Amino acid sequence: MAVQRFNLGEPTGGLERTLAHGIETQLFWGKHVMLSALACAPSAAGELHHHEEEQWVVMLEGSGVLIVGQEELDVGPGDVCHIPPGMLHNFIAGPAGARILDIFGPPRSAYREPGGRGFGASS
């Protein structure tokens, strides 16, 4: 069986999903981990939400403000931040937009549905 692979520069082959206006992602997953390769348009804003899956946010390019619980974090290239299970969070892209790799463990079931939209039901 071929190794599942993609490139962050131009991810292809994942399940496409629109998370919010100006925030598109491609989703890839195995048994225990889901990866979400996001492209955020300039100043695109997500929605405050939470879920039981643990999340790590990896900033690939651009900048923005990551809200995690009560904290507002200015983030840029190479920054990696942890979002514990159940913690409210959101992201607002900076003026040049952002590319992000989100990591979920376990995979988010709401994100495995073809044709889905949004950040999934809060749990």
Chain positions contacting a second copy, by CB under 8 A: 2-9, 28, 30-33, 35, 53-54, 56, 58, 68-69, 71, 73, 77-85, 101, 103-106
We find the least distance from the C-beta atom of residue 23 to a second copy, in angstroms, to be 20
We find the least distance from the C-beta atom of residue 18 to a second copy, in angstroms, to be 21
Query: CA-to-CA distance for 28 and 37, rounded, in angstroms?
Result: 8
Shorter beta-carbon distance to a second copy: residue 1 or 121: 1
Shorter beta-carbon distance to a second copy: residue 14 or 22: 14
Shorter beta-carbon distance to a second copy: residue 4 or 21: 4
Q: How many CB atoms lie within 10 A of CB 113?
A: 11
DSSP states of 13-60 as a string? SSEEEEEETTEEEEEEE-SS-EEEEEEE-TT-B---B--SSEEEEEEE
- Tokens 């073809």 appear where? 114
